[in-house]
Amino acid sequence: MSSKKNTRALGRGLDAILKSPETDITAHDISGNFVVGAIAEIELKKIETNPFQPRTEFDEMQLRELAESIKSQGIIQPVTVRKLGYDKYQLISGERRFRASKLAGLEKIPCYIRLANDEQMLEMALIENIHRQDLNALEVAISYQRLIDELKITQEKLSEKVGKNRSTITNFLRLLKLPAEVQVALRDDLISMGHARALLGVGDTATQIKLLKQIIDKGLSVRQTENIVRSLNKEAHETSSKTSENVLDEKYKKATEILSSKFGTKVALRKRSDGKGNLVISFKNDQDLDRILELLK
């Protein structure tokens, strides 16, 4: 398969991959009971899970609820598998349905059968997961990063593959820069993506974690969190400026004292770290200004 054709198919999402003539190989057969391209009932014991599955945690309660639904309604949407060899299959997508079917006590499950190499498997699993509605923000971010790392592509190329704006992808990837405590809170739905993005605006890890505890303990909204971050950054900037000025004032304190004594008025000296600054000589009125100007002559 050419890389150009592969990219075009992936850009349309998982459904396009599965329906594409480049991956829907109905004319091929591998030794076993079922041909590639068929929909068949396959025994669960003959299907192994996908090692490329980016999702590592499944809600136990939701799985049990899905299992009850399967018991009464059956499997409405088949899972997708690839054929590995004689009566041996591997999941491409549908692991929740696969797990729930086991809980429901089923022995067989309906499956779409496809051929796919390892790279295609990873792409299929990740792209399908990215488009799921029940994924949390951290799982999406990890899936994006894995696609970038495994396929060695840029964010721009990734946006084409998954059909998402590059800015959206960037915002998700930034979440992976947060400290582990914040990422765990996001994974466990203790905070939202809005909270996490606000925390990205905090300068240091210790403050991020401290604010995280406040969000959880006090139930702060995203807007409240953003306001706190703005306030913290403003205070930090003002403190930094004052500290810098105070240090410089101490260094040149003697000079200002001499000038104040010479002119008989208040003299202020401010010098920035880049060497620039200003010297301010105060005066009370026009006569006082004339007096100072005479002294300067």
- Residues serving a catalytic function are 95
- Whether residue 178 contacts residue 164, with contact meaning beta carbons closer than 8 Å, is answered with no
Structure-block tokens of residue 233 = 């950054």
DSSP type of residue 255: H
- Whether residue 245 contacts residue 251, with contact meaning beta carbons closer than 8 Å, is answered with no
Region of 105 please: left (phi>0), alpha (psi -120 to 50) or beta. Answer: left
According to DSSP, the β-strands at 108-114 and 88-93 are: unpaired
Region of 87 please: left (phi>0), alpha (psi -120 to 50) or beta. Answer: left
According to DSSP, the β-strands at 108-114 and 39-43 are: antiparallel
Tokens 């900037």, located at residue: 237
Secondary structure of 133-173 as H, E, C letters: CCCCHHHHHHHHHHHHHHHCCCHHHHHHHHCCCHHHHHHHH
